[in-house]
Amino acid sequence: MAIETLLKPLFEVSEKETAFDEGDKQAQQRLATVIRLVTKGCQITLQHSRFDALVSRLDAVDVELRGYAYEGAGVGLAALDSVFPWKNRLGDFMAGPGATYIYAVPLGAGMGLARLRRKPEPFLKRLDPVMGWLIVDGYGFHEGFFSRRKTIEKQRVPAHLSAYGRRVFDHGVGRSIWFTSSTRVERVAETIATFSVERQADLWSGVGLACGYTGGVAREAIENLCKLVGPYRAQLAVGVAIAADARHTVGNPSQYVEQACEVICGVSSKVAAQMVQEARKNLPTDGIEPAYEIWRQRLAAQFMEITGDMYQREEAI
């Protein structure tokens, strides 16, 4: 029996795990669809690991949802690289047909490593020195979503992560809170408030990415989210802007990212994506501070100015 066939059961997701039984019905359906598509993308990858066959099947998914299928491909490719460590299918895919999915594939890869209980940071050398950190974000999402009691209720962080790895882990945990809260923004804020203050900015940034990319809520809920985020509006905006870039880079923008950018970032999704790309230029990759963090700091500084002005105008009204 091929190893790919043996791996498949490890990456199956039960109906119970995709049962979002609280909140808006449309939002529940959206979240469940996302989880199913990531799972489907993983299963397709384990069945069709040749890139030409794999890509044709991933691209058959509706364009607005296609990123989740590629995220699933990241899950499967990381799993195969874990079993066959002398290969680098993940890196080859990112250098080839998956090159435009610079966010989805490494996020998925982190989920795959978490499922197999593999440490994510050793895989950084297989990926882009800046964007490769997303693999730890994906790892955090998996732990927040599939190990909620340990990660969200008991708020444990894997001891093997580096100091900065723990921060990126929290980006993923923040994304998972959007899902585990069934997009109910009040519940999102209540959950984050239970964490230590030191972790909250990174958690809110993860919420921003999930809110912008996955969405599932009406404009009124996003407006309420802005009221609940408190001093972390700029971090929330960073996550939303990154969602905009993730969608514009592959040409699949959605209504959710557009309204999230307008409300939270104060700019269109196209402008937000351009800001993300500009901030990523000329990043130092040989310093003590990760270039990934410098990139995010540049964005946060810009949004601190924009959202600060927005807040003042709202207060004046």
What's the pLDDT at 276?
A: 98
Three-state SS sequence of the chain: CCHHHHHHHHHCCCCHHHCCCCCCHHHHHHHHHHHHHHHHHHHHHHHCCCHHHHHHHHCCCCHHHHHHHHHHHHHHHHHHHHHCCCCCHHHHHHHCCCCCCCCHHHHHHHHHHHHCCCCCHHHHHHCCCCHHHHHHHHHHHHHHHHCHHHHHHCCCCCCCCCHHHHHHHHHHHHHHHHHHCCCCHHHHHHHHHCCCHHHHHHHHHHHHHHHHHCCCCCHHHHHHHHHHCHHHHHHHHHHHHHHHHHHHHHCCCCHHHHHHHHHHHCCCHHHHHHHHHHHCCCCCCCCCCCHHHHHHHHHHHHHHHHHHHHHHHHHHC
Kindly report, residue by residue over 246-271, the tens digit of the pLDDT: 999 999 989 999 999 999 999 999 99
What's the pLDDT at 18?
A: 62
Decide which of 56 and 317 is more confident.
56
Residue 180 predicted with pLDDT over 70 = yes
- What is the rounded CA–CA span in Å between residue 260 and residue 222? 7
Nearest to 246 by CA among 68, 124, 19: 68
Kindly report, residue by residue over 83-115, the tens digit of the pLDDT: 888 888 999 999 999 999 999 999 999 999 999
pLDDT-derived band at 22 (thresholds 50, 70, 90) equals low
- What average pLDDT does range 55-72 have in this prediction? 95
- What is the rounded CA–CA span in Å between residue 22 and residue 182? 6
- What is the rounded CA–CA span in Å between residue 8 and residue 3? 9
Nearest to 161 by CA among 210, 191, 199: 199
Neighbours of 229 (CB within 10 A): 23
Kindly report, residue by residue over 138-162, the tens digit of the pLDDT: 999 999 999 999 999 999 999 999 9
What's the pLDDT at 1?
A: 37
pLDDT-derived band at 11 (thresholds 50, 70, 90) equals low
Percent of the chain with pLDDT over 90: 76
State the angle between helix axes of 163-180 and 185-193 in degrees (0 to 180), rounded to the nearest 10. 150
